[in-house]
Amino acid sequence: MRRTALYDEHVEAGGRIVPFGGFEMPVQYAGILKEHDAVRHRAGLFDLSHMGQFWLTGEMVAPWADTLTINAVGTMKPQQARYNIFCNEDGGAHDDTIFYRLESGWLLVVNAANADKMWKLLNERRPPHGVDLENRHGRRALIAIQGPRSAEMLQPHVDVDLAAMRYYFCAEGRVEGVPAVLARTGYTGEDGFELFLDGTDASMIWNALLRAHRSEGLEPCGLGARDVLRLEAGMPLYGHELTETITPIQAGLKWALKLEKPEFVGKAALEEQLALDRYSRIVGLVMEGRAPAREGYPVWFDGRITGSVRSGSIAPSVENKNIATALVAPEAAALGTALEVEIRGKKHAATLVGLPFYKRPK
Amino acid sequence: MAQPQDLLFSKDHEWVRVDGGSATIGITDYAQNALGDIVYVELPKVGTTIEQFGNLGVIESVKAVSDLFTPMSGEVVEINGALESDPAAVNREPYGAGWLLKVRLSKPDETKSLLSPAEYEKIAVE
């Protein structure tokens, strides 16, 4: 099991440590609900250094990456970030990722649990010339500050004008005087920033931000709160809503699929899936009762099992109801459909709703 | 939090307060802290017969479902209905408002197989 550069900070702050993606990570500090509240109303600080960071350089990066991914890489402008998915030949997802285009190269951020698989895949597919790959997984840190007050809290510590940075854009700059990539991205459904920096600088920056803004409500947050936040915001979690067998189309990520690209791995399978339109799909459920729906619970429609729950949680931002995603058959996937979730042998009523469950106020 | 001295404890981190022929049952402060934010409690209906150390229901935190075990045998005579709308009472007051259920004891001498506050203290710090 590996540790991030911030491990000692987590332990000292009372973080409860669990294994996640090959790393010992904090699942919570003060409590998942308290941390969730901080991110929705003030700001939360996350250590995401377990995520894979690859540095891609060379004149062939964009055209090559465009053959391996479903979204467009070649049309990205410098300082732009873009969500993208690497698929297998059957259209299932190897991983969902974010590309950050910087002046001198591309930062590719992959899921921790998929980092080894993705590193291997990139190296196997690398063209003979024009693409250089550097694996920074574990050496570079990633600190996220997320929440409506994140820009005002972060601004005094950085040399980049955050007000001028749009959502899904990034810049090279300095945080507390040390070099970092700053991006207006996140996985919480709130405004926020992600800071990619050297592992040796991580503690200094983590502590500087907490020291300066704890009294204003900045809370260290664990992966437990992050999971509730992303689920409310309708964002997929690899291994749950998106897998080697659940395609981006099934996961409701058609917006990221650029079929006008001439060729990419999985394109034919995805085109066929769309044309046939008989695929099971990820939907949102709101439970009527108090019992939480959990991963793997069967979902019933019209007297038959139609699928299963993929993620579930209590949702403080959805009137404290229990919400879930489920993979269900197409006939059970219409908005407003009455479904039942089987919990310990008993069926509990649920209503199918559109995603996301939660949208931040503009 | 120190364990209240008028309670007995099970190794499964439940407490019991015996009062004549009946008893109140809950989970310990150590258990609620280990579970984290409690969002749901599922208990047997009034009238159900339960056996010592047998399954009593489930308690769910944001992240996980955990089984509950009864420290003593008997018949369920009351469940804490307030937990339906306020399961977090178990976090706030595990020995008070967060009690789970009351049982008419069928084997009162089962207390012999339970732990004293001092004995439980040793388990709960591990």
Amino acid symbol at A132 = D
Question: Cβ of B63 and A27 within 8 Å?
Answer: yes
Q: Does B126 score more than 80 pLDDT?
A: no
- Distances, alpha carbon A141 to alpha carbons A10, A69, A84, A180, A355, in Å: 14, 25, 21, 10, 31
What residues in chain B have their Cβ under 8 A from chain A's Cβ atoms?
36-37, 39-40, 42, 58, 60-63, 65, 84, 87
Give contacts of A297 with chain B, Cβ < 8 Å. Answer: none
For residues A105 and A55, the answer to whether their CB atoms sit within 8 Å is yes
Average pLDDT over residues B21-49: 97
Confidence of residue B114 (pLDDT cuts 50, 70, 90): very high
Give contacts of A344 with chain B, Cβ < 8 Å. Answer: 42, 58
Please choose, from the candidates A49, A40, A60, A42, the residue with its C-alpha nearest in 3D space to the C-alpha of residue A5: A49
pLDDT tens profile B48-95? 999 999 999 999 999 999 999 999 999 999 999 999 999 999 999 999
Question: Cβ of A28 and B36 within 8 Å?
Answer: yes
Give contacts of A33 with chain B, Cβ < 8 Å. Answer: 37, 62
pLDDT tens track, chain A, 362 positions: 999 999 999 999 999 999 999 999 999 999 999 999 999 999 999 999 999 999 999 999 999 999 999 999 999 999 999 999 999 999 999 999 999 999 999 999 999 999 999 999 999 999 999 999 999 998 999 999 999 999 999 999 999 999 999 999 999 999 999 999 999 999 999 999 999 999 999 999 999 999 999 999 999 999 999 999 999 999 999 999 999 999 999 999 999 999 999 999 999 999 999 999 999 999 999 999 999 999 999 999 999 999 999 999 999 999 999 999 999 999 999 999 999 999 999 999 999 999 999 999 87
Q: How far apart are alpha carbons A258 and A278 in whole angstroms? A: 20
State how far residue B57 is from chain A, nearest Cα, in angstroms.
10
For residues A278 and A297, the answer to whether their CB atoms sit within 8 Å is no
Instruction: Identify the residue whose tokens are 């970092």.
Output: A180
Q: How far apart are alpha carbons A347 and A288 in whole angstroms? A: 11
Question: Cβ of A292 and B60 within 8 Å?
Answer: yes
- Residue A322's contacts (CB-CB under 8 Å, 6 or more residues apart) are A286, A287, A289, A290, A291, A292, A293, A312, A313, A314, A315
Q: pTM for the full model? A: 0.96
| SS3 call for A306 | strand
- Distances, alpha carbon B3 to alpha carbons A221, B31, B96, in Å: 30, 12, 12
Q: Which residues pair with A287 in a beta bridge?
A: A350
Does A257 lie at the interface with B, CB-CB under 8 angstroms?
Answer: no
Confidence of residue B125 (pLDDT cuts 50, 70, 90): confident
Q: What is the pLDDT of residue B2?
A: 67
pLDDT tens profile A157-179? 999 999 999 999 999 999 999 99
Q: What is the pLDDT of residue B124?
A: 86
Question: Cβ of A291 and B42 within 8 Å?
Answer: yes
Confidence of residue B17 (pLDDT cuts 50, 70, 90): very high
Give contacts of A292 with chain B, Cβ < 8 Å. Answer: 39-40, 60, 65
Q: H or E stretch including B50?
A: strand B49-50
Q: What is the pLDDT of residue B1?
A: 61
Q: How far apart are alpha carbons A27 and A34 in whole angstroms? A: 13
- Residue A169's contacts (CB-CB under 8 Å, 6 or more residues apart) are A79, A80, A81, A183, A184
Give Rg (Cα) of chain B: 13
E runs forming strands in chain A? 16-20, 23-28, 43-47, 52-57, 81-87, 93-101, 106-110, 132-135, 140-146, 170-175, 178-183, 192-198, 218-221, 281-287, 298-301, 304-315, 321-328, 338-343, 346-353
Looking at chain A, the whole-number percentage of residues with pLDDT higher than 90 is 99
